[in-house]
Structure 1
Amino acid sequence: MSKILIRGAKVLGGEPQDVLIDGETIAALGSGLSPEGATVIEADGKILLPGLVDLHTHLREPGREDSETVLTGTRAAAGGGYTAVFAMANTFPVADTAGVVEQVYRLGQEHGYCDVQPIGAVTVGLEGKKLAELGAMHESAAGVTVFSDDGKCVDDAVIMRRALEYVKAFGGVVAQHAQEPRLTEGAQMNEGVVSAELGLGGWPAVAEESIIARDVLLAEHVGSRVHICHLSTAGSVEIVRWAKSRGIDVTAEVTPHHLLLTDELVRTYNPVYKVNPPLRTERDVMALREALADGTIDIVATDHAPHPHEDKDCEWAAAAMGMVGLETALSVVQRTMVDTGLLTWADVADRMSFAPARIGQATGHGRPISAGEPANLTLVDSAYRGEVDPAGFASRSRNTPYEGRELPGRITHTFLRGRATVVDGKLA
């Protein structure tokens, strides 16, 4: 492989320096590095980050290739600066066996735009009744370490306890979709003033918070790891903060859309704003930002949930829940957290690369930008401002809530083990 010299990049937002890539690794960092034999990329003060890692992506394959495939999803990921994604288990068939997770893993290897680490289902068929083949999935070629029934809550406390006990044996983690099902029957949006005015079924915050409270106590009792998916309420923040103060091994994620959007947008009845968990209040948004800044919330995860046109372009009640997010995630984080002074670019590297790689045990990802490390990198033009145009997305689906919105930042280059997957803002 040829050498690449990235000249004048602000590594983690610091002072400009040169970064030399030789083959699959970073060869050197410094000032005035020799470009001899190297392809030179003039970074002009752009931000150089470690390749982003998404702990929560829906790639839909197998079974819903009309929404997304491993190929289109990983192309979207590369375009968003990601070098590794964790693929959720709610496929058709469900990723609850070694065979299915190995299929997803190998598709990621074949396409090569980013590494794909499958997430295994906690229960057979996501039905919440019987534990899936957790050990077999872990011992498979995919080496699954994260398990989740995302899209559905593991609401049976006994099943959840057994899952936590099982994964403890090999250092795995259960990622919980916190939603008490009986409290959200018929729910269409956040329960509050707006839902009352619109006459839509309310989704109370306590439906999320009660499951989180139960699960952190179970994790403490078992001595195992639990991860909270797409945390969305101020009350959930306080529960996680309390759990961490007790030394409970809990981590949590927030999505970009929950950092920016509120339930006021539902007044438009545009199904693009229908998502699970629902958009919450401005108070919740501010609490989530503060929690991400102070480390109570560990990571940003996209919950990239692609849907075909016909599943979203319909009346609100019939519309599918979910938003695409891989190609806009970093821009939303820049707008809500960096441009507001809540996070530095070094903090962004932690929340969107180092920490998710650590939680998911993504080998070779979330590593420091230093000599000898794998060249998994993303270069960001943070000065860029532009309107979101979903027509240019690499994802097969277009259900973005940001169409026509101006967002900052643009991924100019992404490197997966030294190979450019994005060049000058376009897929290689």
Structure 2
Amino acid sequence: MDARNRSGPPSSSFQVCRPSLFSRQPPRVLIVDASPPWWSETGTTLCEALDNFLTLACSLDGPCRLPLLSLYALSRQHECLLPFVQVRGNLARLRSCVEELRSIPGEGCVRAPRGELLKQAVLDSLQQFKQYTRHTTTPNQANNNGSVEVTVVTSQPGRGVVRQLEAGLKDTDLVSLRRLLVVHVSTTDCCGQDTPSPETAEETEASLMLGTEIDLQHVENSVIAMEMVLKAWLHDQGGKKEQLHLLLPPGLQGEITTPMCVKCDMQERLLSPALLPLTPDLGVKTESTKDFLVSGKGLANQSPPPQRLRVIKTLHVEGVCESVLYGLPLIIRPTTCWQMDWDEMERNHHLFHALCHTLRARDWFLLVRSEPIGSSSIGSGVCCHYLLQPSASLSLLLKPVANRELLLPCQLPVSNQDPPPDALTTIQVQTVDKSPVLL
């Protein structure tokens, strides 16, 4: 669109869809219950997930999503392994802290009461945060990060840990505690055995007396599950105001003559690949064929070698979520290269046709992985993955798929109930019997 026809400056339309630039991201405190015998089962998993997450958080470009981090470990006593430090630019120190956490023995006997150690770690972290903000040299940072979020990771029964924290903190000043999350890492196949009883329901109501929010989350003992708990810190936390107004046209029935506004919030599903320091040959962009093909020295005056995509898995259509796809798609069709022999070209055409027919008949997609040119093995870096979707025409649609490093947690509730009749009627009046509009 011509810049002269725009209603505002070039960045105004983009600004509407941007998050709040992560200006109110809270500092984080991670308290790890490393007491035996559970630590021998969960320690390796948690440390690997923490190392992966911190490597990612330190590598992200753009606005700071995790400004400050402190880490405590509970074993025979509570110990601050990492005072509050800025995450960006401190990867070496953060990894050293993870190695120190990894070295805590997983066997032995701990006689100190768990509840008292938890209480002391939380209070110590709040006191440390007050001292940090009192001596900070950046006034804006102190204003934006006026409260801290504490996450407790434990393999003890989650409800019991919540009750211990409620009992230990009920008479303390928690004005600087924004949220307290207890993450129960299950060491069994079932994560739901810690369900609340009628008695604990009453105790949950009593927890409101603390003046802060205490949440309980169950996760399995796996690296991916723990990474998703930590990646929740990367979401935009500045939800002081709705982020999107969805305007519905006025209804053609009844007395509604003005547009209806549905207020919404936006949440990232993926981290943009542009925020990661990926090498150019990973094919992050798919805006054009030039972006997809790998360029290199000595290839300026000759055609680049074919890009290699290796099929690694078949996927059922209903098992693919569109939210993990990004970028612009590319059309894949059988080659018409004039240098090929006619018989070879015809055979290749038939094979391509058979592939498309088989995928459509079985409702399959293909998951493919890029490979370095001139090598039959995958390099040590991050590999690009793509989805091949069959079309009714003789073609395949190539869409980039987000790697595990890019995925952010997304746990949205599924509603099995119909909406209230009055709200349903209002929406139907606004949207039914509309003539198509040409844009």
- Normalising by structure 1, report the TM-score: 0.33
Q: Larger relative CO (CA 8 A, sep 6+): 1 or 2?
A: 1
- Normalising by structure 2, report the TM-score: 0.33
